[in-house]
């Protein structure tokens, strides 16, 4: 079997073109500054004198939200792409129905592995589905899903992240005048930040809550610390309990070694308690809703989530064969940012080794190490999403570098600082469209396939995704199976389940995903074609098969 890896494909589709744009931007900016040093110096003087008001930051945050919302609706056609995203909608619909689990009617239980082919978590009798993700990100989407505009949740969170980065930089670097608005500008002009804000990924929420946590933690007095502890509880429960603690720990250690032990103790205890609570979440849900009917026949593929250490071992066992893809991820992380972020961050110099500045980058380094060890292959993602929650901290670090250049006496330092504005404009006006075109090129066929499946007049659509990378992601169902058509994965249907389906009397159609999505010549996900992908198979079982969808 040839296993397709999207990181290989996107490296050529997006990252190499992006690298050319980044190099060209740096060269042009450097050449411009060298050719017109006086103009660049005057621009730098104006930027040094610029004062970012709350009104300006509010307008910028609104612009970020509008950009992300427009991109989600227009560029991504309002259709989530990956299984991580569709599960947010799945979980939000489950919560909207009034329960953290979705009950499964008896006639559909044998078919459950085909209805939810990935991230399936259910008791052996498949009587209910429990999400494999912690619930906070889905809960944040619930009111917007209820209003019919689920894209707005992440867009608003992106706006919150941009504004919170400004205020967190001002609080974490007291006395800084340039760093807060420079950090917000560098973040808001990051293609990874904007395009991830167009998706349902939990990473935008991670970034927003991390910046709110840092802002609250920097406030004097116990009220801010308690608020930060509560934010830790929310951030740890977004989808996986690992990401926020890795971000918070370097700051807690910084305050502990800086003599602020009471603050460090409260914040560290808040993180620890949050981790312990959310680690017990799945066990509590399973205890509350029960292990199912022991007398009922077990459904192959239905299994409740293993324990923490079992999951970590599973990640580690798989990661060995995928570790090379981590290099692609880190490469993407660098080229998907405003290129001046890295130059300005480097300008912090030796101060970056001191505890205050070191806390801004240490979490990202720790997260990168864990990702390399346990989950080097991210699959889908615009940029490198495992480090997305650290973008705000890295932008603040770069803002500190901008502050240092702006206050330097040399003309060269002032000129380099002055280029932050034109390079940021290029990042949004040139780099962002290049990457967005590549993303929509990849996303559009999947969105069209999802629409075609949803438009079928059949009661059941069986998806044949032979040769289609991530073809099983086209299998999307309402958690309570209230909408038609019911969508099944042809590669997860057992013989008894297929026979039971035909007994329900529903008209069935087979959707060949390769007709809409196509296959990739350099990396097909070659699974053997299954009998359930053939309409004649269903006719032989007595199903009424609809021709032409």
Strands across the sheet with 508-512, in order? 486-489, 460-464, 508-512
pLDDT (0 to 100) of residue 524: 40
Mean pLDDT in residue range 202-228: 96
| Sign for the pseudo-dihedral over CA of 433, 436, 442, 447 | negative
pLDDT (0 to 100) of residue 522: 39
pLDDT (0 to 100) of residue 523: 40
Residue 2 has pLDDT above 60, yes or no: no
Q: How confident is the model at residue 250 (pLDDT cuts 50, 70, 90)?
A: very high
Of the ranges 40-49, 196-205, 389-398, 438-447, which one carries the lowest mean pLDDT score?
40-49
Q: What is the mean pLDDT of the chain?
A: 89
Percent of the chain with pLDDT over 90: 65
Of the ranges 178-192, 227-241, 412-426, 509-523, which one carries the lowest mean pLDDT score?
509-523
The domain segmentation of the chain, as residue ranges, is: 6-84+139-440, 101-134+455-540
pLDDT tens-digit map of 334-383? 999 999 999 999 999 888 888 889 999 999 999 999 998 888 888 888 99
Q: Is 177 exposed, middle or buried (0-12, 13-18, 19+ CB in 10 A)?
A: middle
Residue 322 has pLDDT above 70, yes or no: no
Identify the bridge partners of residue 462 per DSSP, sorted by sequence position: 488, 510
Residue 390 has pLDDT above 70, yes or no: yes
Q: How confident is the model at residue 37 (pLDDT cuts 50, 70, 90)?
A: confident
| Sign for the pseudo-dihedral over CA of 67, 72, 74, 75 | positive
Please provide the DSSP assignment of 275-329 as one string: HHHHHTHHHHHHHHH-S--TTSPPPTT--PPPPHHHHHHHHHHHHGGGTTHHHHH
pLDDT tens-digit map of 50-83? 888 999 999 999 999 999 999 999 999 999 999 9
The H or E element spanning position 460 is strand 460-464
186-215 b/e with 16+ CB inside 10 Å = b? bbbbbbbbbbbbbbbbbbbbbbbbbbbbbb
pLDDT (0 to 100) of residue 425: 92
- Residue 293 sits at the vertex; the CA angle it makes with 287 and 299, to the nearest 5 degrees, is 105
User: CA dist 79 to 76, 199, 385, 532, Å?
Assistant: 6, 9, 19, 27
Mean pLDDT in residue range 288-314: 67
pLDDT (0 to 100) of residue 314: 53
């Amino acid at each position: 079997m040839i296993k397709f890896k999207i990181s290989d494909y996107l490296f050529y589709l997006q990252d190499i073109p992006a690298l050319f744009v980044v190099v060209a931007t740096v060269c042009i900016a450097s050449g411009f500054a060298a050719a017109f040093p006086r103009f660049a110096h005057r621009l730098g003087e104006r930027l040094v004198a610029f004062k970012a008001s709350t009104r300006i930051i509010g307008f910028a945050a609104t612009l970020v939200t509008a950009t992300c919302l427009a991109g989600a609706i227009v560029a991504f056609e309002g259709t989530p792409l990956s299984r991580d995203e569709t599960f947010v909608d799945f979980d939000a619909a489950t919560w909207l129905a009034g329960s953290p689990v979705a009950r499964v009617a008896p006639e559909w239980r044998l078919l459950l592995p085909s209805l939810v082919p990935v991230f399936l978590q259910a008791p052996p009798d498949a009587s209910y589905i429990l999400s494999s993700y912690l619930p906070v990100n889905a809960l944040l989407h619930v009111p917007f899903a209820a209003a019919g505009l689920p894209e707005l949740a992440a867009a608003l969170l992106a706006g919150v992240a941009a504004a919170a980065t400004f205020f967190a930089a001002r609080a974490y670097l007291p006395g800084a005048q340039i760093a807060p608005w420079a950090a917000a500008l560098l973040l808001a002009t990051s293609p990874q930040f904007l395009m991830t804000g167009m998706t349902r990924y939990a990473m935008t929420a991670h970034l927003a809550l991390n910046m709110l946590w840092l802002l609250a933690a920097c406030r004097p007095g116990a009220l801010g610390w308690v608020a930060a502890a509560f934010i830790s509880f929310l951030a740890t429960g977004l989808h996986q309990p690992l990401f926020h603690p890795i971000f918070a720990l370097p700051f807690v250690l910084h305050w502990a070694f800086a003599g602020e032990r009471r603050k460090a103790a409260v914040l560290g205890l808040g993180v620890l308690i949050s981790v312990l609570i959310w680690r017990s979440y799945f066990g509590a849900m399973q205890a509350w809703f029960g292990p199912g009917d022991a007398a009922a026949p077990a459904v192959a593929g239905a299994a409740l989530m293993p324990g923490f250490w079992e999951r970590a071992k599973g990640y580690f066992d798989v990661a060995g064969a995928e570790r090379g893809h981590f290099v692609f991820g880190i490469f993407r992380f660098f080229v998907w940012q405003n290129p001046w972020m890295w130059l300005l961050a480097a300008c912090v110099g030796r101060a970056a080794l001191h505890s205050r500045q070191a806390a801004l980058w240490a979490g990202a380094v720790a997260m990168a190490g864990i990702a390399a060890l346990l989950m080097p292959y991210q699959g889908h993602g615009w940029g490198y999403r495992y480090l997305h929650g650290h973008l705000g901290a890295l932008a603040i670090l770069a803002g500190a570098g901008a502050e240092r250049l702006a206050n330097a006496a040399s003309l060269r330092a002032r000129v380099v600082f002055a280029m932050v504005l034109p390079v940021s404009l290029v990042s949004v006006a040139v780099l962002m469209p290049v990457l967005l075109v590549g993303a929509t090129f990849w996303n559009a066929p999947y969105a069209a396939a999802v629409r075609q499946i949803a438009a079928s007049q059949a009661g059941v659509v069986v998806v044949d995704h032979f040769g289609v990378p991530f073809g099983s992601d086209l299998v999307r169902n309402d958690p309570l199976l209230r909408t038609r058509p019911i969508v099944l994965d042809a590669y997860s249907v057992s013989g008894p389940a297929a026979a039971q389906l035909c007994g329900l009397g529903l008209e069935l159609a087979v959707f060949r995903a390769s007709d809409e999505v196509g296959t990739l010549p350099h990396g097909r996900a070659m699974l053997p074609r299954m009998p359930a992908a053939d309409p004649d198979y269903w006719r032989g079982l007595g199903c009424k098969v609809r021709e032409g969808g």
